[in-house]
Amino acid sequence: MKKKGIIVAAFFGFILLTSTVMISLPGLMTPIDTETTITGTPADNFPDAQRAQFCGSGDAKSTSYVREFTIPTVCTNPLAIVTDFEGNVWFAQTNTGNLAKFDPLTETFTEYENPTWPPNGRSMMWGIDAAPDGSIWYTDETFDSIWKFTPHNEKYQRLTYPSQGDALPQKLKFEGSQVIVNDFTGNKITFLDPTQAEQKDFNYLSIPSPVDDSVTGDFAMDAENNLWYTNWLFQQSGVLVKFDQDGYRETVVDTGEELLPLFDHIEVLALPETMQTPNGVVAGEDGKIWLVDTSSSYFFSFDPDDETFTQYVTSDPPLSSYGNSSGIIKTPISRPYWVETNDMGQIIFNEQTANRMAVMDPKSETLVEYFIPSMNPNWGDCGDMQNCGLAQVFDFTVDGDKIWFTEWVENNIGVVDTSVGLPLDIELESNIMTLQAGESK
């Protein structure tokens, strides 16, 4: 495996803001049994002592590159986010079960109440996408469901996710005429036909994991219609899987057999030992597969032609992101979480415990990191330190030169405007800077 450093340009739009938190795979934490003041708002799902931690610690903020917008309803815990074909921003609220829309032109929110959501119900909703017909689809971890929301009649429809035993439908994407979902703990990738949404039962195809007792992570489709995804054991590395779905379907048609061995159309490649939690995956326009590792500060490219991985590293999280008032944090890490690409072929990912959005240009091998203005001190070792903590940016979506994101514990959404010019130019004699693992310059 090759290791390469990249030039890092870090921009302090307002105050140096970033993070290192003590979690990497957040779920729904059970609130402790303490005094709860009833307010008639979603904040009632948390005891008084935890409301600052989960419901927000301050007002929305802005920098030269980042703007934040406060959601009208308090303590919604926004998570999955996507833009539709008209440029509206949609996001799921884990603490209300509702969808919300933000109009960037009028800068107004519309929140749509889900009448079938159980009182006090909470669910991590990791995946969301806009369908060609304008409907919004998203996943629901707690109730093992996929939801379809139709904006013109404001109708919610719950679709039971096909599962046997433990299941956790996570990321969701429309690819052509199908919906693809990874079942994180159910250990499979599922292909669904969205035209059957009105039917009681879905026809679906599930790809089981080639690694026993592992989890199935994010997925991406390359230019040749191959599906790439990860199977891994927590902090024990895993494999990158390539599924030739066209070859499989052609074989089904040629043989007339509906049930054929899937593994005849699967290629399995071992991940580097330094990649222990490969959450996000995306296919770049150069044909490479990009992966991010949530157990470190590393991200990787994989070249299918020569089957080699190249390892990159982010800059170190600044002290303000984690505080370290106790002195116990010796090696802070940025924890890249999900990864996408934009129209220019750049690689974009969120650095969970550095409170940053990152944009990497594979051609120039430069990395620009945008600091998120809001910080919640309850998610860092902040002590008496001011301007410290995390907003917990757990999801984002790319729309042209804008990167929209949610702040799970600050009750905000935000946007990075990558079209804003940067205050300096970088010129080097060589476009490659070699660094040791974990080193930054």
Distance CA 369, CA 198 (A): 44
The CATH number of the structural domain formed by 2-25+40-417 is: 2.130.10.10
104: left (phi over 0), alpha (psi -120 to 50) or beta: alpha
Which contacts (CB < 8 Å, 24+ apart) does range 100-105 have? 100/71, 100/76, 101/151, 102/69, 102/413, 104/402, 104/415
Which residue type does 176 have? G
- pTM for the full predicted model: 0.89
pLDDT digits (tens, 9 = 90+) for 223-244: 999 999 999 998 787 999 999 9
> What pLDDT is stored for residue 23 in this prediction?
37
Written as one letter, the residue type at 86 is E
What's the rounded Cα separation, in Å, for the pair 245 and 74? 44
Buried b (16+ CB within 10 A) or exposed e, 377-402: bbbbbbeebeebbbbbbbbbbbbeeb
Give the residue ranges of the chain where pLDDT is below 70.
1-33, 199-201, 256-260, 424-441
pLDDT at 388: 97
Q: How far apart are the first and last CA of the chain?
A: 21
- In the chain, the largest separation of any two C-alpha atoms, in whole Å, equals 69
pLDDT score of 226: 97
- Whether the CA torsion 17, 22, 28, 30 is positive or negative: it is negative
> Strands, E, within 224-277: which ranges?
227-232, 238-243, 266-270
**Spatial separation of the C-alpha atoms in residues 102 and 121, rounded to whole Å:** 23
CA distances from 102 to 71, 74, 132 (A): 9, 16, 19
pLDDT digits (tens, 9 = 90+) for 67-81: 999 999 999 999 999
Please enumerate in sequence order all residues whose Cβ is within 8 A of that of 207, keeping only pairs 6 or more positions apart, or say none.
188, 189, 190, 227, 243, 262, 266
Q: Of 199, 395, 200, 366, nearest to 279 (Cα)?
A: 395
Alpha-carbon separation of residue 324 from 24, 356, 369, 382, 383 (angstroms): 17, 18, 22, 6, 8
60 has which bridge partners? none
Q: Could you say which DSSP state residue 5 is in?
A: B
Nearest to 216 by CA among 268, 145, 288: 268
pLDDT at 9 (0 to 100): 39
> CA 116 to CA 113: how far, in whole Å?
9
pLDDT value, residue 260: 66
Q: Is beta strand 2-3 parallel, antiparallel or unpaired with respect to 308-313?
A: parallel
- C-beta of residue 171 within 8 angstroms of C-beta of residue 218: yes
Quote the CA–CA distance of 217 and 258 in Å, as a whole number: 26
